[in-house]
Amino acid sequence: MDPTLQDAESYRDRLGLRGDVRRFEDGSLPVFAIGDELVLKLFPPEYHDEAPVEAAVMEALQGKLPTPELHATGLLDDWAYVLMSRLHGEEPETPDVEVSRQVGEMLRTLHAVKAPHVLGPGDWAAFVRRQRAGCVELQRKRGLQDEWLERIPQFLDGVEFGDAQPVLLHTEVMSAHLLWRNGKISGLFDFEPAMRGAFEYEFASAGLFVTKGDRACWRALVEGYGRVPDPRRVMAYALLHVYSNMPVYLRKMPEGDTFEELAERWFGG
C-alpha cells in the first residue's frame, strides 16, 4: 500500500525536515514535495534496487545538467528513499522547436558523462537479443493487431544494430520528465530506469514523447545532439524498449503502413 500524506509527514519529521508535504499526482512511484525546495521519492521493497541507480546518476550529472541535487538516501520502514532538491518549471507538453533543440543539446551532454557502474545491462548485445526474443509477445499483450505483429520479425531482422559503444541513457526522455522555464530547459528528472547502451535507444522515447512526429522538432533535436541516428535503428529500439507500447504509439503518432514507413515519418528528417 502506498504511503499516505500522514506517512510522508512522519517521514519528513524523522528526517528532521520542515515544510508542507504534497504528493505529486503523476508517476509510478510515490513522490512528495517537502516545502518548495525538497522532494522525497520512495521505493517499495520490490523496487529497492532502483534507488541506488537514481542516486548514482544524479551524482554523476551534478553540475552538468539541470537535474536534482542528491541530498540523502536510506530506508524509512520498508521504503527506500532518495531525498533531492526540487526543480521548478512547467512541463513542455506541446512539440516545440526550441525545446527540442535544447533537449538534443542536453542529451549530447548526458551521453558524454561516464555511466555509473551500478547501471546495467552488462552486455548490450545480449540485452537486445533478449528484447527481440520477447518483442512479439510483449506487443501482443499490449494489444497490437496481428497484421503488425507479423511484420515485427522481418523488420528487426533487416536492422543492422552495429557495435554499440554504451553511453549513459536516461531511457525515458519525455515531456513528463522535463521542465521548461524562462525559455530554457530547467529540469530533467526520474533516473531510476537509467541504463547504459546504444545512443539510438534514447531517441526512441525522445521522438515519441518530445518531438511527437513533428519533423521540424525532430530536426532540431538531432541538430542539437550533433549526430543523426539511423531512423530504422531508432524504430527498432522503439519496439524493443523495456516499456514499449506500440498500440499507443500507432494511435498518437503519424500513420504509416509499414515499420519502414513509420521509421521515416517518426524518426526521419
For the chain, give every domain's residue range. Answer: 5-85, 97-267
5-85 folds as Phosphorylase Kinase; domain 1 (3.30.200)
The pLDDT tens digits for 191-225 are: 999 999 999 999 999 999 999 999 999 999 999 99
Q: Has this prediction a pTM greater than 0.85?
A: yes
97-267 folds as Aminoglycoside 3'-phosphotransferase; Chain: A, domain 2 (3.90.1200)
Grid coordinates of 208: 515519441
Q: CB of 58 within 8 A of CB of 67? A: yes
Rounded to an integer, what distance in angstroms lies between the CA atom of residue 220 and that of residue 212?
Answer: 13
pLDDT of residue 236: 98
Grid coordinates of 27: 508517476
Angle at the Cα of 199 (from 145 to 221), degrees rounded to 5?
85
Q: What is the DSSP letter of 47?
A: G
The pLDDT tens digits for 34-88 are: 999 999 999 999 999 999 999 999 999 999 999 999 999 999 999 999 999 999 9
Is pLDDT at 2 greater than 90 in this prediction? no
Mean pLDDT to the nearest integer, 178-203: 98
Q: CB of 110 within 8 A of CB of 168? A: yes
Rounded to an integer, what distance in angstroms lies between the CA atom of residue 156 and that of residue 152?
Answer: 6
